[in-house]
Structure 1
Amino acid sequence: MDKLALFVENAQVIKKEFGFQNSLTKRLVALSCAQEGKLIDCEAIKACQDMIKQNTGIFSTFRGDMGLCIATLLSLSKNPQEILETR
């Protein structure tokens, strides 16, 4: 699939699933997935967000708008738990 078309499709999917997040953050997430040549997997991102919440404090910089980006990057990896633990 063409990366531009994939980006547009990913942007539409994430807009529906993460409505209250910053619009630029959502576009960055859509672009990250398109760059990897993958359709966005919102369930995997949500699972990674939960994993981040369980392994960080309430005032951690891993939370908030950038937390969505970090969760997306983790969801694109083969073993996100291992990556989070080694950082």
Structure 2
Amino acid sequence: MSMNIKNEETHRRAKELARLAGETMADAVDVAIMERLERFRKRRNVKGLADRLCDIGKHCASLPVLDRRSPEEMLYDDQGLPK
């Protein structure tokens, strides 16, 4: 199956990329598309991870407080040394 690039600037860029990479234009376009797809997929996965982390944070914030001491009181003794 062939692809016909009708935009002259896009054709020029694809030709330059192929020349610099030492590839055919078809290979250069294929690699460029694969790399861009991978960036989009990674970005989507990062967004998914951020959403999951926010959900975990909301869940943790909704849990009851079992120890009313401050973090400093839990970690340090009266002398300011770690317990």
TM-score, normalising length: structure 2: 0.34
User: Considering only CA atoms, is the larger Rg found in Structure 1 or Structure 2?
Assistant: 2
